[in-house]
Structures are given as structure tokens and as C-alpha cells.
Structure 1
Amino acid sequence: MELIQKWKPHLEQEVRSKQLTIEGIKRHIDERRLKDSDREFFTKKLRLFQEQNEMQQRLLWRVETLQWRLSDGLRQLQQMAPPLPLPTGFKEIWGALYATVAGTFNYEVLHSKETKMVGGTQVVIEEHSVTVGHIITALVLFLLGYSLLGKVAHSSVRAAQIRFQLPAARIALLEKLVLYPMILLLALCVLSWVRIPLTVFAYLGGALAIGVGFGAQNLINNFISGIILLFERQVNVGDIVEVDTHTGAITALGSRCSRMRRGDGVEVLIPNSLLLEKNVVNWTLTEPNHRFSFTFTVAYGASIERVMQLVTQALNETPYLLKQPPHCVFFEQFGSDGLIFGVYYWVKLGIEVDPRQPGSDLRFRIDQLFRIEGIHMPFAQRDIHLDSASPVHVHIENEPQNRNPA
């Protein structure tokens, strides 16, 4: 009831103001010699204001009817049972709190007018007012819509992946391509719904330019870099890359940063700009198969043919080693401590297997086969020569015979 009593005078003032505006437009049409185009413009404007005035009058009539019914209902309730008195202090606190919140919500942040010169007279076509309530409502609606659109984009892209068997590397790109236009459309719809015109941002252009130049420079840079990465597809989800002393698999490409999972399980957040500005080694950009190698030494006297046969057997028995391209064993050279052989094999890099594991299994199998065949891997041996003018005295002491047992 108090709310109706508060807003009814404002509505009555709007009705009177609209009627005065209509009368002014009528006088303007009757008293001036206008061109046909200007007369048509003012006639349409007059018709529009008259329709608005009729709607406001109907709304005022309904408000008065509602006020009368509420007053009648309250009067009947008071006759049936006496009202419960509220503490005077509570009423004052509630009234002050409500007035403060309402005043803050209706505080006008920006006011703009759209005018047009007609017959040498500047006529106000439309007025725009942006309040704190408009801004709060727009933010709440945008956040709710953003959360909903994110789920819609994610579910639709996943459904398309299952339906068309799309690779995982394209999922992030498709999700962003679906989400970003929807966010832009959401922002325009929210601004239109709360009646915040786009022309308002022209007044904030200077402040926004300063904010972007100083506070949001890195954010905008990373955002644009993320879009470039999505379209160029030089770095995809699942790729094993090496950047800025970190090596791991890309698990997500975000709008601001990308997420990498290293071999030790640590997840690293890498700004998208680094993936464009730094030297990035992509191990799986065009070909996931990579060659690894190591050397080993066997003692002199071992059969070279038998050694190569055993190593080839170990290569064939080790899992995760590719058959194509074929692996190979070479007799590299005669070393100072033994015969040096080189082993070369290919492994398909991916998130599911650590590329070091096949190499460890291969070395373990080679050691097993060499132990069975009695082939030794020598350690480094050196001869020491002592150059002395006089004989070197060597004294060897035996352990004492009467040691007490521990």
C-alpha cells in the first residue's frame, strides 16, 4: 500500500507531462508552416505520444482501482481483528533502510538525450537514463545468461563430437566459436532489455581507453592470442610441447591461458601470448612418431653378431615400440673399454604413455638377455704408472687373529 502511495504521484506526473508534450506538439503543428516531411514526422510523433498517454492513463486507472481494493480489504481486516502493533523503532529502521536501498537503486549514473533539428528548432526525440539499478540488473542477467550459455555450448559441441566423430583437438575451437557469438548476442539483448542504449558507451570511451591501455593490456593481449591459436591450430589439445623450460601435454586451450600437464603431474598455466611470442617446440604438431636412441658397451671378445641378434630380439619384445619406421641396431665403434653399439627405435608420443617407459623396458630386457648369454658390459678400466726415483715401500698388514666377536 505504501509503495502504491509512493509511486502513484510519479505516474500522475508522467501523465500530466505527457499531456503537456502532446499539446505542445499540436501547437507546433498548427502554428508553423512545416514541410510535408517535417509535418509527417511530428504527426507520427504525436500519434506515438498519444498512444503512450492512453497506456499511462489506463495504468493509472488500474493503480487507483488496486489502491481502492487494497484500502477496502485493509478496512475489512481491521474491522475483523485489531492490527498487531509493531515497535516504532522497527518501523523507522525498516523505512530508513528501504529508502536508502531504493535511493541507491534509482541513482542516476548517466543521462543522455537524442535531439534533431527540425525547422531550426532542436527537438528532443528520446531520453536515456542509466541508473545503478539498470547496471546491477544488467550484470545479474549477463552472469546468469553466461553460465547458461556455457553449458549449452559445451553440451552441443559434445553432442556434435559424438555424432560426427570429431577429433578432440577441434572441440575447444568449436566450443569457442559457438560460445563467443552467443555471448555477444546476450550482451546486446541484456542492454536492450534494461534499456541501456549503446550510445551511452560513447561517453565512457575515454575512460575505457585508459583502462584498456593500462589495466587490461595483458588481458586483451592474451585473449586475442587465444583466438589466434584456435584458428591457426599450431598448438592443439593433446599436443606435447616444450615452452619456457616446461615440457608436457596441452590439456586445455582457454581464452586467457592454456593448461599444460607435465610428466610429474604438475599442471602449469601458460599465458596464450607466450605460445606466440616464445620459441615453442611442438613434438606432435604434424607427426606424433619420434625416434629415441642410446648407446651401450660390451666387453671385447663378445660375438658382435650375437649381440645384435639379442638386441633385435629385445626390440621386438618390448611393448609400445613402433614397427614402422623400423628400429635398428648399429655397431658404432671400437671404444677404449669395449665395443660400442647404438640402438634406435620409434615411439608414438601421447598422453596415455610416458615416452621414457619403453626405453626403460628395452634396457631392462637387454640386460636380461645379456646375463643369460654371459655377455658382459665392462666398466671403465685404467692402468696407473708410478714414476719414482727410488723403490716404493709397500707394507701389508694382516688382520689381528685375536679379534673379539661382535
Structure 2
Amino acid sequence: MQELLSKPIFSIGENFDVTLSQLLLAILFVIIAALLSHYVAKLITKKVLAKFKLAEDNLVIFKRLIFFVFLGIITVTTLSFFNIPLTAFAFISGAVAIGAGFGAKTVMDNFISGWILMSERPLRINDIIEFEDHLGRVIEVGNRSTMIRRIDGAHMVVPNSSLLQANLINWTLVDPNIRTSVRVGVEYGSDVSKVKEILEKVMKEHESVIDDPEPMVIFEDFADSSLLFELWFWAKVGAVRELRTIRSDIRFKINKEFQEAGIVIAFPQRDLHFKFAEGKGFPVTLSHPGDSSNKDGD
């Protein structure tokens, strides 16, 4: 066994032979270096960089840079310790390059796209985004893919290259404020000035509705069965589901205020008009639920 491990498996130039034991030890130490680099990067990020109160996506960038720097330093040091020149792995690099060219194109695309996403920052961790009709929060931007938690709780794993090439809507790219609206219809004959006053009061009293830009009440339309109003307002949103909660709170408050003010929220209504020709008629049957008897009339 010892003879097998000490037997040269290939030569580098004319003066250096690489044995199987040297190659195996080098690969083992590279693996250990990767694990150690990951631990050191995580430790430095949590214990040192976290004190500077950096954004979470910036911490991820620094963690990756620290990982690759330490990995490179430890790998080169290990190879030098075993007197193995870097050219010993030239054949491995060539094989990896050929494999990447034929079978790992997508992986490399996603890897590079991940770094572009983290550097250009069209999206960041905790951003609320809309991707292919899915609304959710960015949980993690990895080397190959990005994880998005949808509003229904499901997690989407999206390749980085897809995000980079797609038409992406980032609701919180500049700030956490999002504009939304609530519609309500009141019956015809209602005091529209009073309705506007109540709606403005409801928006002003909600703690998540911001004053700048100022909330607006729009008299939208004379609809079929109602006078239609729409509330436009900006809200500071910390989570995707908070937007739905804010709209729900607004509706609860509107319903309560309208009931106290005697304003009726409209519902579909239809007026039926019957016209009879002179001297003609038709039988009409009147019935009441639960009454088995019917009365006929002309």
C-alpha cells in the first residue's frame, strides 16, 4: 500500500514527480480549506461586520468575498507546504474548462448572474418583488438561484439568469412605501360630501398610511347601483401580507363609520317596470316561501 501511495502518477516538467499520496492529501486539504473558509467568513460577518449595521445583502456580498479570499490563501499555502506546484492541477483545470464549456453553461450563467444581481442590486434581500405574476419577498440570493417567499407561504427557487433577463417589478427598490387603493360604493341619494369626509378621516387615522404623498378620495363613477368612490393612499409596508391587512383595516373602519353615519353601502338593485296593453293581461302567481297555497290573479 505504501509503495502504491509513494509511486509517481505523473510528472511536471523534468524535475518534479507527483505521487498519489501528495495528490490525495492536497485534495483533502482543499476540502478542509473550503469548510474552514466558510466558517471563518460566517464568523467575521456575524462578529465584526454586523457591528457596522450594514444591509443584509451587503453582508452576503462581504461573506462571499471573504470565503473566496480565504479559500485561495489556504489552498495556495497547503500546496506550498506539500511542495506541490499549482501547475500540478493544470490537467484538472483543463478538464473542468472542457466540462464547463459543454455541460455547465447554465450553471456558469446562473453563477455570474448571481454576482451581477448582488453588485447592480436590482433586487435585494427582503425586497418585495413581482415576478411572472407571483408576488413575494426575496429571502436569499445564492450563487445559482434566488429564493422568493410568495404571499401564500410557498417558496420559489428561481435561477439567477431568469431574474436578470425578466421584466421584474420591485415594489420596494427605492423605499418601502407602496401605493394602493380601496373602492367602495354608496347608495344613490347619499351625502357625497359626508362620504368624502369619512373616507379622508379613515385614511388619516390609520397608522400605516403616510401623509406625503397625501391620501386622495376620488369620486370614481355613477355606477349602475352605486356612487363609486376610490381611496388612493401610500402605505409603509414591512411585509407582503401587511398590504392586504392595511386594506382590510381600512374596509373595517369604513363599514363602521358608515353605519354610525347612516350611510348605506350599495348593493346591486334592479327596478322592473311592467306595461300592459289595454284590455289584455296575463295571470300572475304570488307565492311566499314556506306557503303551499298560491293565489292567482289577473
TM norm structure 1: 0.65
Distance 1:254 1:103, change over 3 A: farther
* Residues 8 and 17 in structure 2, CA contact (< 8 A), matched pair in contact too: no
In the TM superposition, what is the alpha-carbon distance from 1:230 to its structure 2 partner? 1.7
* Higher mean displacement: 155-164 or 240-249: 155-164
Contact kept? 1:222, 1:257, Cα under 8 Å: yes
Matching residue within 184, 188, 210 for 1:296: 184
Aligned residues: 289
AA in 1 matched with 2:53: Q
d(CA) in 2 for partners of 1:334, 1:400: 42
Written as runs of structure 1 = structure 2, the 5 A alignment for 1:4-403 is: 99=1, 102=2, 105-106=5-6, 108-109=8-9, 111-114=10-13, 124=14, 126-131=15-20, 133-204=21-92, 206-351=94-239, 354-384=242-272, 391-396=281-286, 399-400=291-292
1:334: how far off? 2.2
Q: RMSD value over aligned CA atoms?
A: 2.6
Secondary structure of 1:139's aligned partner? helix
Task: Give the drift of 1:144.
Answer: 2.2
Distance in 1 of aligned mates of 2:209 and 2:292: 58
Distance in 1, matches of 2:62 and 2:287, equals 82
**3-state SS of paired residue (1:181):** helix
Deviations 1:308-344 (A, max 9, x none): 1111221122232222222121222322222111101
Separation of aligned partners in 2, 1:169 and 1:210: 33
CA contact (8 A) 1:113 1:128 kept: yes
**Do 2:125 and 2:138's aligned partners in 1 also have CA atoms closer than 8 Å?**
yes
Residue deviations 1:52-92 (CA, integer Å, cap 9, x gap): xxxxxxxxxxxxxxxxxxxxxxxxxxxxxxxxxxxxxxxxx
Q: Is the 8 A contact 2:136 2:240 kept in 1?
A: no
CA distance in 1, matches of 2:83, 2:274: 99
Kindly provide the amino acid, as one letter, of the partner of residue 334 in structure 1.
F
CA contact 1:160–1:166 (8 Å) conserved in 2: no
Contact 2:218 2:230 in 1 (8 A): yes
Q: Give per-residue Cα distances to partners, 1:127-155, cap 9 Å, x unaligned.
A: 22142x33432333222222222122122
Alignment partners' CA distance in 1, 2:283 and 2:3: 106
Q: Tell me, yes or no, if the aligned pair for 2:184 and 2:229 is still in contact at 8 Å.
A: yes
Of structures 1 and 2, the larger Rg is shown by 1
Percent sequence identity over matched residues? Answer: 31
Q: Is the 8 A contact 2:57 2:118 kept in 1?
A: no
Q: Which has the higher helix share?
A: 1
Q: Gaps spanning 5+ residues in structure 1: where? A: 1-98, 115-123, 402-406
Deviation track 1:101-122 (CA, whole Å, cap 9, x = no partner) reads x56655654x1242xxxxxxxx
